[in-house]
Amino acid sequence: MNFSWMAWTPPTALFFLTILMLLVGMSVWEYFAPGGSPRVGILRFETTRGDRLFISLLGAAFIHLAWLGLAGPNLWWALAIAVVYAIGVFRFV
């Protein structure tokens, strides 16, 4: 198969490998500690680990898009903000 139309650059491959590793890690975590550790946080509804991962990834996408639109193509600071955001989501949501 010819995948040249997908623009598989090293950053693109790293992005998808990171998402894959997050999903594998969450699956292993769920295997050893089933139930997803549901809790009610600042959003006032019950979330599991998977919900918090999804909220983190969605927020990181919006952070990166906003950074691209407001600050330009250097995304290292956006990545740092997204990591802090994800830690906050897993801690407080």
Distance from C-alpha of 92 to C-alpha of 85, rounded to nearest angstrom: 10
Q: pLDDT digit string (tens) for 66-88? A: 999 999 989 899 999 999 999 99
| Secondary structure of residue 56 in the 3-state scheme | helix
Domain-wise residue ranges, the chain: 4-92
Counting as low any pLDDT under 50, the low residues of the chain are none
> What angle do the packed helices 49-70 and 76-92 form, to 10 degrees?
150
Bridge partner list, 39: 47
Query: What global pTM score does this model have?
Result: 0.83
pLDDT at 36: 78
